[in-house]
Structure 1
Amino acid sequence: MRIGELAELSGLTASRIRFYESTGLINAVERKANGYRDYPPEALSVLEIIASAQRAGFTLDQIRHLLPVKQGNWQHEALLLALRQKVAEIDEMQARLNRNRAQLLVAIESIENRPKDLNCSDRADWVLGRLRESGAVPKRKKPQR
């Protein structure tokens, strides 16, 4: 199939497909006498795997090492290890995002409910104190003498 059809079926641009080919993510194809590239049907599957892996957070270099050298010759143990590592990274990222969200909610609540009778500088200190109490901001170390 020609690159235009492959692009349409995969949802990728022709330039992206050419980039994947130039970087060795998909096998280079011979050009026909008319100059058109003719991709085999399995190229669509490989492109779908690449796009899916990128959406999951894999880098192109990581993907390159996971793709089989020959069609159907997957390194199952390496693939499983990489997938498990990516799940662990996502879990850590979700935990970090949850902590960040909680910190932001404390900041919002503290700013919205700060005492009105404090001057601006004291209000900022009051909000920071609330953030420290919640663990959102590290507690100040006492000066050493």
Structure 2
Amino acid sequence: MNIGELAKRTGLTSSRIRFYERAGLLQAVDRRANGYRTYPPQAVLVLELITTAQQAGFSLDEIRKLLPPGLDRWDHAGLVEALRRKVADIEALEGRLKQSKAQLVALLAEIEAKPDDMDCAANARRVLSHVLGDKAGGGEIPIGDGGLLAKRTRRRVATAG
């Protein structure tokens, strides 16, 4: 099949397909006498695997290492190990994101607790004094209605208006 048909079947642009070919991810591409590329039917599956792997967070280098030269020669153990590592990476990222979200929600609550008669600059000083108030102490700062704000967040507070 030609590159236009492959693009239609995969939903990828022709330039993206050529990029994957140059990157060594899409192999077994033949050229006709006129220089046009022709792709075997398995190219659709390979491109779908590449796209799925990228969406799962695999880099092109990781994908290159996982894709066998022919789909009938998978390194089962290597593939399983790579997938397990990626799941662990995603779980670690989820943990960091959960912590960051909690810190931002706590900071937002502190900022939104601004008294009605206080201007933005005074509120920023109030929030910063709460956040920086525990400089010498432990790892968390009490805020608002019993929430906690990790000390790292104080670096992120620029204004609190």
| TM-score tier (shorter) | 0.7 to 0.9
1:51-93, CA deviations, whole angstroms, 9 ceiling, x for partnerless residues? Answer: 0000000000000000112221100000000000000000011
Higher strand share: 2
> Displacement of 1:103 after TM fit?
0.4
Q: Distance in 2 between matches of 1:139 and 1:18?
A: 44
* Residue matched to 1:137: 151
> Deviations along 1:115-138, whole A, 9 cap, x unmatched?
566982344212544962324215
Q: RMSD of the TM alignment (CA)?
A: 2.5
Aligned equivalents of 1:13 and 1:139: distance in 2?
42
Paired residue total? 140
Q: Partner residue of 2:65? A: 65
**Secondary structure of the residue that 1:26 maps to in structure 2?**
coil
Deviations 1:19-52 (A, max 9, x none): 1111211114221123221100000000000000
Separation in 2 of the partners of 1:58 and 1:136?
31
Q: Does 1:126 find its partner at 2:152?
A: no
2:74 is the counterpart of 1:74: yes
Question: Contact between 1:114 and 1:126, CA under 8 Å: does it hold in 2?
Answer: no
Q: Which 4+ residue blocks in structure 1 deviate beyond 3 angstroms? A: 114-119, 127-131
With over 3 angstroms needed to count, the CA separation of the structure-2 counterparts of 1:113 and 1:45, relative to structure 1, is same
Identity of aligned residues (%): 50
Contact 2:103 2:153 in 1 (8 A): no
Amino acid in structure 1 at the alignment position of 2:5: E
TM-score under structure 2 length normalisation: 0.77
User: What's the TM-score, normalizing by structure 1?
Assistant: 0.85
- Match of 2:31, SS state, is coil
Q: Is the 8 A contact 1:114 1:127 kept in 2?
A: no
In structure 1, distance between residues paired with 2:91 and 2:43: 32
Gaps of 5+ in 2: 135-139, 143-147, 155-161
Cα offset, 1:113, TM superposition: 1.2
Distance 1:139 1:17 in 2: 43
Question: Secondary structure, in 3 states, of the residue corresponding to 1:4?
Answer: helix
